[in-house]
Amino acid sequence: MIDFIKSRLLRFRRDEDGQIVVEFVILVPLLFTIFLTAIELGVYSMQQMWLDRGLDVSIRTVRLSTDNPPQHDELKKLICKNGGFIRNCEASLKLEMRPVDPRAFVGLPPTADCVDSAQPVAPPVTFVAGSNHQLMMIRACLVFDPVFASTGLGFEFSKAEDKPFMTAMSAFVQEPGK
């Protein structure tokens, strides 16, 4: 039986008749996977860039407006407005902001939970941008739908509850008021 299979394989290897079906069947799915992964990476990179830009521009506004800092929902809207082309931004953006002691630094947890958790800076309010000279850290987590979820890069995204997400972080100290 082994000799029969071996002789058939050798004959198949020597035979130069026919078409390039085998090469086509093997290489075309590989090329399409690489092509779709490149598109997915481009869309992901663009959304990450817009999220980073939206957070940076918005935090600059927060840092400079000590007298009237934006609240949680206003900050979300501001990030989405400055974020450009992020699909369904306000519904899928989650913010986490905490005060940080610069003398005993403990940053945000390394894994984002993508759940709104605005820790109060002042006890009576649920989300305050901070007071004068206070170091704050903020993380924006954006849950998104991949373009091609079942090919290439779509499998590899960090996921929260089976949805891929991206994060952007920033630290700032509020400027003193007037």
- For the chain, give every domain's residue range: 19-173
Q: Is the pLDDT of residue 84 over 60?
A: yes
Percentage of residues in the chain with pLDDT exceeding 70? 76
CA distance 35 to 129: 43
CA distance 55 to 137: 12
Q: Is the pLDDT of residue 127 over 60?
A: no
Which DSSP symbol is given to 55? H
Cβ burial of 15 (10 Å; 0-12, 13-18, 19+) is exposed
CA distance 122 to 132: 12
Q: Is the pLDDT of residue 106 over 70?
A: yes
| Predicted pLDDT of residue 120 | 40
The pTM (predicted TM-score) of the whole model is 0.73
Question: Of 1-10, 20-29, 66-75, 113-122, which gets the smallest average pLDDT?
Answer: 113-122
Phi, psi of 14 (to 5 degrees): -75, -25
- Going by pLDDT thresholds of 50, 70 and 90, the confidence category of residue 51 is very high
Average pLDDT score, the chain: 77
